Structure 1
């Protein structure tokens, strides 16, 4: 099914078509003044020309021309200022065109719909039940409150590597039918990657949050931040520090997220409908201000039985023959017997390999 949506204004930008050029506006105002004075002169001959031979050029003086130009410039300055993007270059302003008319957010219509989403997610990854439950209650609450979109509390999933925290977040976005964007806090300047960098930095650009809204034309993505506890700081040549936590805090608070300002475009946007899933391998290194704004869940390691269920579910979903599923399960069981528990990443690669082999044609 296609998820219902609601369109929200999203930004304070005012799009104005066909803003006139200064020369055209000056000419229009000059012509209008000329027509008015000609009409006056026709009613009362000689007033405008002071007894001289009437000419249309006598109706507009140099002082009139200067005054018209000043007024035209003030009018265009106010018009450009009212758009909210007068400070942007033409190319950057054009990139904001998708915001015209607002952007949609996904909406849950009934509590039964929320139940179906949670049930589907739980069937795929039952060991992630604590996280699924938080989302489930958030979706049901969105329905009961009659919200225009869907929301759940920001999540921090704490657990060993390879138990499927990021995979669960991606599957959540799939079942919600919303876009997603991912950030690896260890492999990139996470703060800039998320929100962007303002002009003046050599790497100035919009962040993934804004890029996703513009590319997907959607204002309610699932934002996944992996290994959030390992995010480093970015320091400018002037000595100012930029941390991921500093970038996140105004976005995690709904009231401040409603008027969040993009550092690159310098426009205000409603980011309060973005939903957040962060992952961490431990609580060590997680800042207290971040923890206070999120639901933090400690997740256990996977058991062999849970891994076998995952293989069965994924294998059937990929359309693998039962022999391929059984072979993968046997291989996993041998690893477990040897005293090691494979991660979901390893199992996913095994399933990829089994799928490739199953699709390979055999020479006759």
Structure 2
């Protein structure tokens, strides 16, 4: 698994540490003094050996050592002020240290693995054929491009509620082998919760997106935005409006996503690897700029046969007995005959109930 830098160059050069600068200045001062005294330094000595050799034969005065210490501290302070991390608190700077060596980037080894993932999704969610087909072609294109990791375009799953759109996205993350994060667009401050708010505000906080990168150290997690068409707007006391869809636009644009500036940390992150899956019940309520970057994939409700197939597949995964699985399928069939076919959520509740009954300890 390759590692890539996720931020702009923000970490100070180890060569600019105070101790390293003091060593170089001390070596320079010792060389000048050695030249005056005629001391010869072997050419094959490394820098550290030269410093030790000179220190054995020459001593710097207290005044020179103090001047070197002051100069080194001054250089470090100036370099520190130029770093974006200078604006952060000490605990925040320490948290950023986990990004010094980059983050992991998950890749698919071959097009065959892409086929396997798409086949697994289709076996579990056969009614979501358009989404399964779209993700298959996207994964194959990513592998064919030869990029270091899996890069997928943002997806918008549009369909009736309760058909398993979010569950499909979580399953996709599990098959790829990356972490997932779910964000509810219906939250009042969904925009601030996802991308964070600007430093200096009274309730300023970093967003969940950056926190996910800092916590899991994966460049291409799956981020799921549920019911995106229901996202509201937040207004400041000055009348400024912030919406979730507006916050998502630069993250969906490839060029801007690769240098996306976190409003809280004020540091540029490479968010171009994130795998976005949006869900909605009515794409017509979404703004055109979002739809142009993320075309909708229309999905239909699962049929009775689809639900029974899902119940048997999920029941076997949970290691339920054949009797329990048959009971759930019978309930699905009976409800459909009565003209009230259940949705996927209802089927999952049935499976949860059956699992609870099977795992219940026997009464004495």
Q: Note whether the superposition's TM-score is higher than 0.5.
A: yes
Relative to structure 1, the CA distance from residue 41 to residue 105 in structure 2 (aligned partners, 3 Å threshold; closer, same or farther) is closer
1:89 aligns with 2:86: no
Is the contact between residue 122 and residue 129 of structure 1 (CA under 8 Å) also seen in structure 2?
yes
CA shift digits 1:216-270 (9 cap, x unpaired): 1101001100000010111122221111122111111111111111111111111
Which stretch of the first structure deviates more once superposed, 11-20 or 146-155? 11-20
Q: How far did residue 81 of structure 1 move? A: 4.1
Q: Structure 1: 5+ residue runs without aligned partners?
A: 44-55
2:277 is aligned to 277
Is the contact between residue 99 and residue 214 of structure 1 (CA under 8 Å) also seen in structure 2?
yes
In 2, distance between residues paired with 1:90 and 1:177? 33
Which stretch of the first structure deviates more once superposed, 120-129 or 335-344? 335-344
1:257 is aligned to 257
The TM-score with structure 1 as length reference comes to 0.85
1:46 is aligned to none
In 1, distance between residues paired with 2:20 and 2:126? 66
In 1, distance between residues paired with 2:145 and 2:2? 15
In 2, distance between residues paired with 1:113 and 1:28? 53
The TM-score with structure 2 as length reference comes to 0.85
Which stretch of the first structure deviates more once superposed, 238-247 or 134-143? 238-247
Q: How far did residue 6 of structure 1 move? A: 2.1
In 1, distance between residues paired with 2:2 and 2:37? 59
In 1, distance between residues paired with 2:16 and 2:291? 48
1:49 is aligned to none
CA shift digits 1:63-99 (9 cap, x unpaired): x96x984x54541234214543121111111111221
Relative to structure 1, the CA distance from residue 363 to residue 288 in structure 2 (aligned partners, 3 Å threshold; closer, same or farther) is same
| Structure with the higher helix share, 1 or 2 | 2
Which stretch of the first structure deviates more once superposed, 180-189 or 327-336? 327-336
Q: Structure 2: 5+ residue runs without aligned partners?
A: 39-60
CA shift digits 1:136-191 (9 cap, x unpaired): 11111111110111122211111111011111111111111111111000024111
In 1, distance between residues paired with 2:98 and 2:32? 46
Is the contact between residue 166 and residue 279 of structure 1 (CA under 8 Å) also seen in structure 2?
yes
1:193 is aligned to 193
1:121 is aligned to 121
In 2, distance between residues paired with 1:68 and 1:323? 79
In the alignment of these two chains, the number of paired residues is: 342
Q: How far did residue 118 of structure 1 move? A: 0.4
Relative to structure 1, the CA distance from residue 313 to residue 259 in structure 2 (aligned partners, 3 Å threshold; closer, same or farther) is same
